[in-house]
């Protein structure tokens, strides 16, 4: 009889642990995808409600080749829109983390990142990249030779692909912002 009770206790504990893991997993997914910033809200805040007209950069020829080199794959788009001018511009770019797109807003002032913000995160893990402790590393970053950032960006354990996506998008936007300012 004692063996039966021990078996029942172990079975009950296993069920409780499984339910707890399931609950925590669902909370993590909900937390990761729960909040987002609409692109128009990001742009309104960046330009304090005085939104400049948008312009377009076409990814063709040499620009497309460099974009592919920066991203590590062919870009999924033929053109990117930006708002602003050669001194200060805002860009909104989607890049795949592991399997889902991450929407990233970047403000560039005089060829340096003024701000980088995750507008929408759709992955089940890696959502820590949206917090200031991570994004603040990009503030003031610019490009050096071969479209590399002028600083090291610390990664986040469990968010390697999200960190890579954000770093590559920052490099691409700095390259494109520099190309439209000349």
Domain co-membership, 82 together with 4: no
Report how far residue 11's alpha carbon sits from residue 162's, in angstroms, rounded to the nearest whole number. 38
pLDDT per residue as tens digits for the range 131-172: 999 999 999 999 998 999 999 999 999 999 999 999 999 999
Domain co-membership, 8 together with 96: no
Question: Is a pLDDT exceeding 80 seen at residue 25?
Answer: no
Domain co-membership, 136 together with 174: yes
Domain co-membership, 29 together with 46: no
Domain co-membership, 83 together with 108: yes
Q: Is residue 17 very low, low, confident or very high in pLDDT (cuts 50, 70, 90)?
A: low
Crossing angle of helices 61-71/160-181, nearest 10°?
Answer: 160
Q: How many CA atoms lie within 13 A of 76 on its CB side?
A: 7
Q: Lowest-pLDDT range, 20-24, 82-86, 158-162? A: 20-24
Range(s) of the domain holding residue 26: 1-34
Sign (positive/negative) of CA torsion 156, 162, 167, 170? negative
Domain co-membership, 50 together with 25: no
pLDDT per residue as tens digits for the range 102-141: 999 999 999 999 999 999 999 999 999 999 999 999 999 9
Q: Which residues of 157-182 are buried (b: 16+ CB within 10 A; e: fewer)?
A: eebebbbbbbbbbbbbbbbbbeeeee
| pLDDT for the residue numbered 20 | 45
């Amino acid at each position: 009889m004692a063996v039966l009770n021990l078996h029942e206790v172990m079975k009950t504990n296993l069920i409780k642990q499984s339910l707890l893991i399931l609950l925590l997993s669902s909370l993590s997914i909900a937390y990761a995808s729960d909040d987002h910033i609409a692109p128009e809200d990001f742009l309104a805040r960046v330009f304090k409600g005085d939104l400049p007209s948008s312009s377009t950069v076409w990814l063709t020829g040499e620009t497309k080749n460099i974009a592919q080199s920066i991203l590590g794959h062919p870009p999924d788009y033929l053109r990117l829109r930006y708002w602003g001018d050669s001194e200060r511009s805002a860009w909104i770019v989607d890049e795949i983390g592991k399997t889902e797109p991450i929407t990233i807003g970047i403000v560039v002032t005089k060829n340096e990142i003024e701000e980088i913000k995750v507008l929408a995160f759709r992955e089940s893990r890696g959502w820590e990249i949206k917090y200031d402790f991570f994004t603040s590393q990009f503030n003031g970053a610019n490009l050096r030779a071969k479209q590399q950032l002028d600083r090291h960006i610390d990664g986040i354990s469990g968010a390697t692909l999200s960190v890579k996506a954000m770093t590559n998008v920052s490099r691409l936007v700095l390259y494109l912002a520099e190309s439209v300012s000349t």
